[in-house]
Amino acid sequence: MTKLPKGATVGIFGGGQLGRMLVQAAHGLGYKTHVFDPFNDTPAGRIADTETTSPYENKQAVETFAANCDVLTYEFENIPLATIKLAAHITSVFPDALALQTSHDRLIEKTFLQDQAGAPVVDFAPIESMAALSEFVREFGAPAVLKTRRFGYDGKGQVKVTSERDVKAGFARLGGTDLIAESFAPFVREFSIIAARGQDGEIACYPLTENVHKDHRLHTSIAPTGDPQNVKGEAQAITRRILQALNYVGTMGVEFFELAGGKLIVNEIAPRVHNSGHWTMDAGCTDQFEQHIRAITGMPFGATQPKYAVKMTNLIGDEILQADALAKKPNTFAHNYDKREIKPGRKMGHVNEILGQA
């Protein structure tokens, strides 16, 4: 493992809020930053040392970017695989193409989790026809969840099939092929584990983060949360196996369903810093963004044990207009992503409220 010297340049594909918080962390550790995004004046690009504006498909721009950076990473998983592979010929990219490829497609991801990481997942099957969906519902029962294999996020590209009679409508709504059916997990709660793995294989796990969704989008995260069914050890062991199986470098978010009786199911993995890890910024420990930069630059990890319990709430759309008032409240920290335009449903910022000692 070679540690990048201070002053070296960290390149980030993607200029959104996650990229922005990575830029802030990299600057804090003494690195320069360069952000690549199809749009200009992005939340991350605006505060980076250098901003490149180009489509991800522009090979020459990607090569020049890679040649000007000492290490590369990405802030979201819908970057074209070819872009990452091209850049990786020139400069190291963490997490690597395998992690990206695995998480691009829900079918590949679930198959990997089950077969290579020994992680529990729901029953699932590829769906290419209405007949296949009918058969899935007959075999595994309703409700089932039908999802697009690619480009789904925040509940987009998924429908619940509540009975056999629903099959036709559900299939029609997503249409066509490249779908996956999953059996519905009757969870008692959803939580995530944020963890990072270094180039030397060291793994640093944060405690359980309990997540509540609203309109299919993450609304609040509380950490560290209680563990009445004593599942933390198993959840961390599963997380470690996933990171090791991918030979992963960087921060990852692993989303779990917790069932009654303490059975765990992995819903999905995100090969990047994760919205449910934003509480770490104000918890009195090394935050997930710094941990990611530490991993990809070959620095040792910081502590993951929080001093404070924190409740993170996303500020969506014009909720961002309350950010300054919220920041005035004691023990409350508002983070504004500085997006140029407020749009309904858009993540504009988040607020971390300290609940007490961890």
In 3D space, the residue among 188, 114, 190, 124 whose CA is nearest the CA of residue 158 turns out to be 124
Tell me how far, at minimum, the Cβ of 259 lies from ligand AMP, in Å. 10
Report the residue number, 258 or 268, with the smaller CB distance to ligand AMP.
Answer: 268
Report the residue number, 78 or 331, with the smaller CB distance to ligand AMP.
Answer: 78
Tell me how far, at minimum, the Cβ of 185 lies from ligand AMP, in Å. 4
Residues 60, 65, 68, 69: what is their CA dihedral angle, to the nearest 10 degrees? -140
Provide Rg for the chain, Cα atoms: 20
Amino acid (1-letter code) at residue 205:
C
* C-alpha neighbours within 13 Å on the C-beta side of residue 164: 10
Report the residue number, 216 or 329, with the smaller CB distance to ligand AMP.
Answer: 216
Using CB positions, name the residue nearest to ligand AMP: 185
Residues 6+ apart with CB under 8 A from 189: 210, 258
Dist. CA 223–CA 247, nearest whole Å = 27
Tell me how far, at minimum, the Cβ of 252 lies from ligand AMP, in Å. 14
Provide the token pair at 256.
């779990």
Residues 66, 349, 316, 51: what is their CA dihedral angle, to the nearest 10 degrees? -30
Question: 179: helix, coil or strand?
Answer: strand
Report the residue number, 38 or 120, with the smaller CB distance to ligand AMP.
Answer: 120
Which positions lie near ligand AMP, rule CB under 6 A?
122, 145, 152, 155, 182, 184-185, 190, 213, 216, 267-268
Are 208 and 223 in contact by the 8 Å Cβ rule? The answer is yes
Which residue shows structure tokens 């294989």? 201
Report the residue number, 188 or 325, with the smaller CB distance to ligand AMP.
Answer: 188
Are 38 and 53 in contact by the 8 Å Cβ rule? The answer is yes
In sequence order, what DSSP letters do the residues of 12-59 get, joined into one string?
EE--SHHHHHHHHHHHHTT-EEEEEESSSS-TTTTTSSEEEE--TT-H
Report the residue number, 184 or 301, with the smaller CB distance to ligand AMP.
Answer: 184
* C-alpha neighbours within 13 Å on the C-beta side of residue 26: 33
Are 90 and 100 in contact by the 8 Å Cβ rule? The answer is no
Tell me how far, at minimum, the Cβ of 211 lies from ligand AMP, in Å. 7
Report the residue number, 37 or 258, with the smaller CB distance to ligand AMP.
Answer: 258
Dist. CA 316–CA 214, nearest whole Å = 11
Tell me how far, at minimum, the Cβ of 153 lies from ligand AMP, in Å. 6
Report the residue number, 94 or 191, with the smaller CB distance to ligand AMP.
Answer: 191
Tell me how far, at minimum, the Cβ of 113 lies from ligand AMP, in Å. 13
Report the residue number, 173 or 213, with the smaller CB distance to ligand AMP.
Answer: 213
Question: 88: helix, coil or strand?
Answer: helix
